[in-house]
Amino acid sequence: MIDGHVEDRVITWFDQRYAAGDGQFQFSYGPGNTWVACTSAGGYWSGGDISDTIELQTKDFWPVKATLGISGSYVLVDADGRRKWDLKGKYDNLDNILLNTTLGIEAVALNPYEEGQFFIRFQSGGWRAWLHASNLDEVSKAMNEAFEYEAQIMQMRNNALLEQARTMAEIASRNLAAPGLTPSVRIHTSTISDPQRMRQALNEQQQESASDGEAAHATTPNLTPDVGFEPANNPDDDFEHIDDVDPTPLPPPAPIIGLLST
């Protein structure tokens, strides 16, 4: 527990960062009253003797998430999933994962009071943990619920994009059936999902038809958007995109690499 004066300052800092648009925050306690707070924009605030052992920020690395462990151990993660860590020999299984995985890291949590125990989640949504059995049951339940929720959000977003594509295709079909337009047109799905590009494509077709003097009675155009297309990543989306180096990300439910008996 941090003292009241510092706690008030941290809360004020969080409020200021939220007002500035940082949006997401992470707070981590460590042993010996150490703690660190990060924002999604890369700002941070730390307490205790953490600044003596951890270089939180460098010119090319701004952490957005941090976790503190035994004997000054830590893991830092930036917005791109890159990481910096020093586990002081206390979390060997995690050290092996961080050294060998090609997956981007979403978050890491160290047990600050018992060595060897940790939780790590990848940007693919997969996760691994080394915990007591009682804790592992709770974590597994929570992660399964999180997977289901994220799957629902992604399905809703995909359904909305497909509906938008169908609507734009219908509009294009009606417009292109008007006199003076070419009888056969193919519009790519990336255009259908972007209203501005759709309007541009329609204008180009109208200009080409006018210049070529096409017949006044055009047949219905043959719009053939690809079924089941994948929309390009949009940084404004409110869900996490899967973007892994590994071509075979961990499928849900995620595997567990270790289990400590109670």
Kindly list the domain boundaries of the chain, sorted by start residue. Answer: 4-123, 140-239
Please work out, in degrees rounded to the nearest 5, the angle formed at the alpha carbon of residue 219 by the alpha carbons of 216 and 224: 135
What is the pLDDT at residue 30?
Answer: 79
CA distance 115 to 89: 9
111: CB partners within 8 A, 6+ apart: 69, 117, 118, 131
Q: What residues have CB less than 8 Å from 138, skipping those under 6 apart?
A: none
pLDDT, tens digit, 9 for 90 and up, residues 168-212 = 888 877 776 655 554 444 444 444 445 556 566 656 655 655 555
Chain centroid, CA 170 distance in Å? 33
Residues of the chain with pLDDT under 70: 1-7, 9-10, 13-14, 17-18, 20-25, 40-59, 133-136, 139, 143-144, 146-147, 149-150, 176-262
How far does CA 48 lie from the centroid of its chain? 31
Give CA–CA dist 134/211, Å, rounded.
74
Is the full-model pTM beyond 0.85? no
pLDDT of residue 94: 92
Residue 157 CB contacts under 8 Å (≥ 6 apart), including other chains: 237, 239
Residue 193, both tokens: 């999902």
